[in-house]
């Protein structure tokens, strides 16, 4: 394997680790807000790292520019969607979880 392949493998492995962490947080946290807290950040970072690994593997070509556009779009779009869902839930009246409450 070349050095570029090793760098791409490490980047994609770290990204997959972050995505698995976000999925476990979505399953295990007790509340709606804490679940979005887990997925909103871990998923963004994991997906961007996997796309960065693909960019390193590709080299410099026209596909790299498309992947860069996709990366910038994910960095903008994913927090915006999370914020919109969370604001809708807060204005509709979903109560935050406090210590000692039942898991929702």
User: Which residues bind to another protein, rule: CB under 8 A?
Assistant: 1, 5, 9, 12-13, 15-16, 19-20, 22-24, 26-27, 32, 35-36, 39, 43, 46-47, 50-51, 54, 57, 63, 66-67, 69-70, 73-74, 77-78, 80-82, 84-85, 87-89, 91-92, 94, 104
Tokens of 33: 């807000």
d(C-alpha 80, C-alpha 55), whole Å: 24
Residues in CB range of 79: below 8 A, 6 or more apart: 40, 44
CB of 2 to another protein, least distance (A): 9
Residue 64 and residue 58 in contact, taking contact as beta carbons nearer than 8 Å: yes
CB-wise, 42 or 99, nearer to another protein?
Answer: 42
């Amino acid at each position: 394997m070349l050095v570029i392949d090793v760098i791409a493998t490490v980047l994609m492995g770290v990204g997959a680790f972050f995505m698995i962490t976000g999925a476990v947080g979505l399953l295990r946290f007790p509340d709606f807000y804490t679940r979005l807290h887990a997925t909103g950040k871990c998923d963004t970072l994991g997906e961007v790292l996997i796309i960065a690994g693909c960019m390193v593997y590709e080299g410099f070509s026209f596909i790299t520019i498309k992947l860069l556009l996709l990366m910038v779009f994910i960095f903008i779009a994913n927090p915006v969607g999370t914020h919109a869902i969370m604001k809708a839930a807060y204005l509709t009246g979903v109560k935050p979880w406090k210590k000692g409450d039942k898991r929702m």
